[in-house]
Amino acid sequence: MTQFGTDVTSDDIIETLGFFDGWEERYKYIIDLGKELPPMDAAGKTEQNLVRGCQSQVWLVTREEGGKLYFTADSDAFIVKGLLAVVLAAYNGKSPAEVSAFDIDGYFEALNLLKHLSSTRGNGLKAMVQRIQAEASAR
């Protein structure tokens, strides 16, 4: 399993996705990232941790350690799970202030994935990012 945020950072993802021209390679890579996401155990998949998306289910568990935030996330859809890995690469192991300051739209724009962050996509990604940001600003 890969630790997103340390083994794979947001810069790594920007760089790797930059190599690919076609959507197929890009999507394959994203799906593979999802497969590397550390698993969330069944105990984490509670109603409380469920992020309401329209179609697929997304769960998020937040943990704070030594002033840094760590997230575990899971989804029942592969592509969304890959996109979760992309998000966690940006947020994991950062302080609440760093999480708040991170320009997530700019990041997704650089990845050419911005449309997935739109709330109309109904993939729960937007809602998850909002929850992470809320967790950060509540601390």
Partner 1 sequence: MTDFDVAAIRAQFPILRQEVNGHPLVYLDNAATTQKPESVINAIADYYRFDNSNVHRGAHALSDRATEKFEAARQKLAEFVNASSREQILWTRGTTEGVNLVAASWGASSLQAGDRVLVSAMEHHSNIVPWQMVAARVGATVEPIPVDALGCIDVEALAAMLDERVKMVAVGHVSNALGSINPIQAITTMVHDVGARVFIDAAQSVAHWPLDVQALDCDFLAFSAHKMFGPTGMGVLYGKRELLEAMPPYQGGGEMIESVSFAGTLYNKLPYKFEAGTPNIAGAIGLGAAVDFLQGLDRQAADAHEKALLAEAEAALQSLGGFRLVGRAREKVAVMSFVSDFAHPQDIGMILDQQGIAVRTGNHCAQPIMDQYGLPGTVRASFSLYNTADDISRLMAGLEKAKMFLA
Q: Is 54 a catalytic residue?
A: yes
Nearest approach in angstroms of CB 131 to partner 1 is 19
- Which residue number, 38 or 122, has a Cβ lying nearer to partner 1? 122
Interface ranges with partner 1 (CB under 8 A): 23-24, 27-28, 31, 54-57, 76-80, 122-123
Closest distance of CB 99 from partner 1, Å: 27
Among 56, 19, 51, residue whose Cα is nearest residue 34: 56
CA dihedral 45, 47, 81, 33 (to 10 degrees): -40
Of 80 and 87, the one with the shorter C-beta distance to partner 1 is: 80
Among residues 47, 39, 102, the alpha carbon closest in space to that of 69 is found at 102
SS3 state of residue 43: helix
DSSP per-residue string spanning 9-29: -HHHHHHHHHH--SHHHHHHH
Residue of 12, 28, 54, 97 with catalytic role: 54
- Using the minimum distance from each CB to partner 1, give the nearer residue, 54 or 97: 54
CB of 133 to partner 1, least distance (A): 23
Instruction: Show which residues are catalytic.
Output: 54
